[in-house]
Every structure is written in C-alpha cells, then in structure tokens.
Amino acid sequence: MSSFSRSAQQWATFARSWLLIDARMQPPGKIASVCSVRLQGKHKPIYHPLSDIGDHVVVMNTRHIAFSGNKWEQKVYSSHTGYPGSFKQLTAAQMHQKDPTAIIKLAVYGMLPKNLTRRTMMQRLHLFPDDLLPDDILRNLTEELPQPREIPRKLSEYTQEERDAFPMLWTPDFQLSMVVHFLTYRNTTHTHTHTPGRLGDEGVLVQPVAGVAVESPRLH
C-alpha cells in the first residue's frame, strides 16, 4: 500500500517536474533520447500524444559532451534559409565552438514529434554550457536523472577496495605456469637447431658441404 493519498498521487502525476541531467562526457544522442521522453511525458501513466503533460528538463555541462570516433570532424550540420547562396555547412566541432548548446538542442529537436507541439516542448528544455545554473531554476529542481553512460575513470581514480574486488583474469598460479611453459619452449627451440639443405632429385634432403656450390631447388 502506498504511503501517499490518492489526491497526492494525482497531483504528483499531473504536476510538471523539473529534472536535471549532467551531459559531461555523454554522447549527444543518448542525452537527447532521455530528454525527448521526459519532454513528451512518455514516462507518465497518463501519457497521450494529444496531451501536453511533459516535464521541464535542465541539461548542464553541454560544453563537455563527447563524440565517439572522429565525429567531431565527420558529422556535418547543414542549413538553408531558402534564399540563393544561403546554403551553409558546419562540422560538429565548428558548431560546438560557435554555440556549446546547439548540438544538444538540434538532437532533441530531431527526436520530438514533427508537429506544432514540438515548439511547446522545446520551451521546456533548458540548456546550460556549464554547471552554473540560475537560482530560480535551482529552486525548482525536483530530481536528478542518471547519466545514460558511465564516465570512464583512470586507474588512479579507483580505490584500493575497488581494485581488490575486480575479478582477476589470470590467477598467480596460471601466470607462473605460463612463464614456465614459455621458458621450456624457448630452451627447446634453441637446443634443436638444424642445418638448412635442399631436396635432391629423388626427394632426399641433401646437406650443403663447405666450399661446394649447391644448386637451388627447381620448381617443376
């Protein structure tokens, strides 16, 4: 049984929450996917495409997003106003340098429904290049969403307890057996050496003699 009354549950369902998500070291597509669901209200049980029940989404640290591979130079954003000679193309790096919030904004805009409700939903998206948020927004925040992807850490950032708890791929006994096997194999290959020779006419290996010229084998 829930500890909230029916009226409180109904109020919480229909109310617009202010959600915070950190875009540091996150792919823009993953951030946009989370934002589009919250802006449309698809996470609520009362969702309907014709109902405007989405929440406010605040995205901070858009300046520190991350692309995989060489997408900063390969991904191109195109625009055309309709006038002759107004076609423009910018790479992701150029777009990000011009406006640190533009990439996230375009990604979210492309994932929302292609109708007039998209403009209303975009008004509830608040983008900030850094972690400095206005006081009026900080007062309204009700929840912080988890990041879609875990930020990779350096080995020096792990504690000793986390290192000890990490599963070992090679146990010390297995490492010792591999070293012994390698040393045995190396000694065996160095001991059994042979002198290069050639095949005779009858398929017999003929060893070369010092001072005597030997014909190279012919290919028939």
**pLDDT higher at 156 or 23:** 23
Tell me what pLDDT residue 216 has.
Answer: 46
Please state the domain count of the chain.
1
Is 108 in contact with 35 (CB distance < 8 Å)? yes
Residue 155 covered by a domain: no
- Residue owning tokens 């934002």: 35
150 is written with which tokens?
Answer: 């875990």
Question: Mean pLDDT throughout 111-129?
Answer: 96
Altogether, the residues listed in the chain come to a count of 220
- Poorest-pLDDT segment among 27-31, 119-123, 168-172: 168-172
Tell me what pLDDT residue 3 has.
Answer: 65
What band does 205 get if pLDDT is binned at 50, 70 and 90?
very low
Is 68 in contact with 36 (CB distance < 8 Å)? no
Asked whether the predicted pLDDT for residue 33 surpasses 50, the reply is yes
**pLDDT higher at 114 or 220:** 114
Residue 210 covered by a domain: no
Tell me what pLDDT residue 57 has.
Answer: 98
Q: How far apart are CA 107 and CA 128, in angstroms?
A: 15
Kindly report the pTM of this predicted structure: 0.70
Beta bridge partners of 79: 88
Helices assigned H by DSSP within the chain: 6-14, 28-40, 71-74, 92-98, 102-111, 117-122, 135-140, 160-165, 172-191
Tell me what pLDDT residue 165 has.
Answer: 86
Residue 36 sits in a domain of what CATH number? 3.90.1180.10
Tell me what pLDDT residue 214 has.
Answer: 47
Q: Which of 40, 33, 41, 42 is nearest to 117 (CA)?
A: 40
Q: How far apart are CA 184 and CA 190, in angstroms?
A: 10
Residue 83 covered by a domain: yes
What band does 63 get if pLDDT is binned at 50, 70 and 90?
very high
Asked whether the predicted pLDDT for residue 31 surpasses 80, the reply is yes
Q: Which residues have C-beta within 8 Å of that of residue 77, sequence separation ≥ 6?
A: 89, 90, 91, 92, 95, 106
Q: How many CB atoms lie within 10 A of CB 211?
A: 5
**pLDDT higher at 194 or 124:** 124
Question: Mean pLDDT throughout 159-180?
Answer: 77
Asked whether the predicted pLDDT for residue 108 surpasses 90, the reply is yes
Tell me what pLDDT residue 208 has.
Answer: 52
Is 28 in contact with 107 (CB distance < 8 Å)? yes
Q: How far apart are CA 99 and CA 129, in angstroms?
A: 9
| Mean pLDDT, rounded, of the chain | 84
Could you tell me the residue range of the domain that residue 24 belongs to?
A: 18-147
